[in-house]
């Protein structure tokens, strides 16, 4: 009967009719009809639910055993394959609920795995966003004798506040730096206009070009004023 029942369950599982909270109603009807047609046995929804719980338990126990080193599946006899008595003894010592599975025959393992492997992966592996946030909030720093016990637990909120404090300090430091910056001195136009006309033979167009350059650079004007009067015209023309 289990073979016929599981055949229907696998088909509907692959069709997406199996949720974590149970099967869709039409699946039970399909199982009842198929088992009656195949085995001549009249079953109910309660019978199906009870067998599903048994299949689920088989998968939970056996899959955990098979995940351990020293265990395998004896496909010919439909039971566990164990490397040695000591391997089994050590496992059962830590997992007493598995004691009856040493020689238990469990048929249709492929079908059971198909149906219940996804259920267990979902229930054991899924985490809500709140759980993930809580885990991040409770991360603990590595143990160190130099860190007091009351400082070893660092929450995400505290870390953010620390970062904000560092950013504020950096901003204040930059602000102090910009406050003390001295802007370059610009030569007053009156000084330039007073110095250019007294240069011998400096044409008006050359005077305008020189004025434009000297008004942009205090250093150029200082250099001009350091030169002898006889060299100032030639020097200004060389700037063009």
CA 67 → CA 4, 62, 73, distances in Å?
A: 28, 9, 11
Of residues 141 and 50, which shows the higher confidence score?
50
User: pLDDT for 81-93, tens place per residue?
Assistant: 999 899 899 999 9
Residue 79 has pLDDT above 80, yes or no: yes
Residue 151 has pLDDT above 60, yes or no: no
Of residues 50 and 184, which shows the higher confidence score?
50
Q: What is the per-residue pLDDT for 144?
A: 47
Residue 61 has pLDDT above 80, yes or no: yes
Query: What's the pTM?
Result: 0.50
Q: What is the per-residue pLDDT for 36?
A: 92
Residue 131 has pLDDT above 70, yes or no: no
Mean pLDDT along residues 135-147? 47
Closest by CA position to 104, among listed 121, 86, 88, 117: 88
Distance CA 86, CA 50 (A): 34
Tokens of 52: 């599903």
User: pLDDT for 159-187, tens place per residue?
Assistant: 565 566 666 666 666 565 544 555 555 55
Per domain, the residue ranges of the chain are: 2-125, 189-238
Give the relative orientation of helices 204-214 and 218-226 as an angle to the nearest 10 degrees: 130
Cβ atoms 80, 102 nearer than 8 A: yes
- Helix, strand or coil, per DSSP, at residue 229: helix
Q: Name the least confident of 7-11, 57-61, 103-107, 213-217.
A: 213-217
């Amino acid at each position: 009967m289990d073979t016929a029942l599981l055949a229907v369950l696998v088909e509907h599982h692959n069709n997406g009719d199996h949720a974590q909270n149970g099967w869709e109603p039409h699946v039970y009807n399909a199982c009842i009809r198929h088992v009656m047609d195949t085995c001549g046995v009249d079953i109910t929804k309660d019978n199906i639910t009870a067998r599903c719980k048994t299949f689920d338990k088989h998968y939970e126990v056996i899959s955990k055993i098979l995940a351990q080193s020293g265990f395998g599946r004896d496909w010919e006899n439909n039971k566990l394959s164990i490397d040695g008595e000591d391997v089994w003894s050590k496992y059962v010592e830590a997992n007493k609920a598995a004691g009856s599975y040493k020689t238990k025959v469990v048929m249709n393992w492929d079908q059971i795995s198909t149906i219940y492997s996804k259920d267990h992966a979902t229930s054991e592996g899924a985490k809500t966003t709140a759980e993930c946030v809580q885990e991040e909030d409770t991360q603990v720093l590595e143990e160190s004798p130099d860190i007091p016990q009351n400082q070893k637990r660092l929450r995400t909120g505290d870390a953010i506040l620390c970062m904000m404090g560092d950013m504020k300090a950096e901003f204040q430091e930059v602000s102090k730096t910009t406050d003390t910056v001295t802007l370059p001195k610009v030569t007053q136009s009156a000084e330039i206009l007073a110095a250019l006309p007294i240069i011998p033979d400096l044409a008006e167009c050359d005077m305008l070009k020189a004025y434009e350059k000297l008004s942009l650079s205090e250093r150029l004007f200082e250099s001009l004023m350091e030169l002898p009067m006889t060299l100032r015209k030639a020097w200004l023309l060389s700037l063009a």
